[in-house]
Structure formats: C-alpha cells, structure tokens
Amino acid sequence: MQLPDRSGFDVCRQMRRLKLRQPILMLTVRWDEADKVLGLEMGADDYLTKPYSLTELLARVRALLRRAYGELAGADDRLIYAADLTIDRDRAQARRGTTIINLTPTEFRLLLYLAQHMGQAMSRSLIVDAVWGLDADVADERNVNAHVRRLREKVEADPSHPSLILTVPGVGYRLAR
C-alpha cells in the first residue's frame, strides 16, 4: 500500500492514533496474509486486494458506512468524546468519568453544538443561530461570551486557562479535540 509519501499502514496508524473513527477500507495489491492481518490490526475495518470488482467494492463501502453511521452503528452514536468529557445526546448530559456535570439546557445545547463541530472555529452568530434559534436578538451574540464563561466554569479543569473550549480571536470559539 504505497502512497506517494508514506504507506497506507502509516496513514491508518496515524488516523487511529488521532482517535479518528471514520471507517477505513484498504485497497491494495498486497495479498499476503501477514499484510492483511497487519492492516486490520492497525485499525483498518476491511481489506480488499486487487483485482476486485466494482460491485464488491461498493458493497463493502456500503457495509462499512452502515456499520459506522447507519442502523448498525450501535448506541455509541449518541456519545461524543472531547478530551475526558463525554457528551450524551440522548440523555442531554455531559460527564467527566462517572461524574455528571450539571448543565442548563442552554449550556448543554452550546456544548453539543461545539462538540458537533469539534476543532472548527464557530462564529458567535453561528452559535446564536444554533443554540438560541434564528429569531434571537442580535444582542444575544454578546451573551455567547457570558454563556461560554459559565460553561467553562463547569467543564474546564482550570477555567482561567481553558484547554477544552478555546477562544478564536476575531471569530468565536472552538472545542479542542
């Protein structure tokens, strides 16, 4: 599995090291059993050797997507992980380990929105639209800062030096991976 600058094994290993959960299907000319085992042990979800038919490839891709994102994805679809924080969509709660963090409904919607866009800088206006709705007053953009401050007090280990909910100067906020 040679790519221009590294192997598919390296890419797979790096994705899993970064805790990326996307399905990985390795397509390769390397048919040796040891290579197949190595790819699967490194985190690949499936391994297909050339030559293969387009029909088989599409069936395997559909199966991976079903398991990862569809009805077979399991109960973990409701959970989002950010550092040592677990956000449970179904229960509308966040916890650190087994300790439930008491959040207001607005704080939970704010945390969930940032978690659904983890790593992305989200503007205050986007946050207002998502958390308070499209009919919110423009003045609510200033309230985002106050809500983020209160949320940090509840979820950050050291709210004065946040490591989870980060300020993006001139833009808004992002949730660290």
In this structure, how many other beta carbons lie within 10 angstroms of the beta carbon of residue 8?
20
| 1 lies in some domain | no
Q: Is the same domain home to 147 and 123?
A: yes
- Helix, strand or coil for residue 56? helix
| 121 lies in some domain | yes
Mean pLDDT of the chain: 85
Report percent pLDDT > 70 for the chain.
Answer: 89
- Please list, in sequence order, all residues whose beta carbon lies within 8 angstroms of the beta carbon of residue 170, skipping any fewer than 6 positions away: none
Q: Is the same domain home to 38 and 88?
A: no
Point out which residues pair with 172 in neighbouring strands.
123, 168
Whether the pTM exceeds 0.85: the reply is no
pLDDT of the residue at 136: 63
CATH of the domain at 82: 1.10.10.10
Q: Is the same domain home to 94 and 64?
A: no
Q: Is the same domain home to 60 and 96?
A: no
Count of domains for the chain: 2
Band (pLDDT 50/70/90 cuts) for residue 134 is low
pLDDT of the residue at 1: 47
How far is CA 16 from each of CA 12, 41, 43, 84, 170, rounded to the nearest angstrom?
A: 6, 11, 6, 17, 33
pLDDT of the residue at 97: 81
Q: Is the same domain home to 81 and 121?
A: yes
The answer, yes or no, to whether residue 68 has pLDDT greater than 80, is: no
Domain boundary pick from 56, 73, 90: 73
Q: How far apart are CA 141 and CA 137, in angstroms?
A: 8
Note down the domain range covering 169: 77-175
Q: Is the same domain home to 44 and 63?
A: yes
Report percent pLDDT > 90 for the chain.
Answer: 33
Q: Is the same domain home to 96 and 53?
A: no
pLDDT of the residue at 137: 60
Band (pLDDT 50/70/90 cuts) for residue 75 is very low
Q: Is the same domain home to 61 and 100?
A: no
Band (pLDDT 50/70/90 cuts) for residue 102 is very high
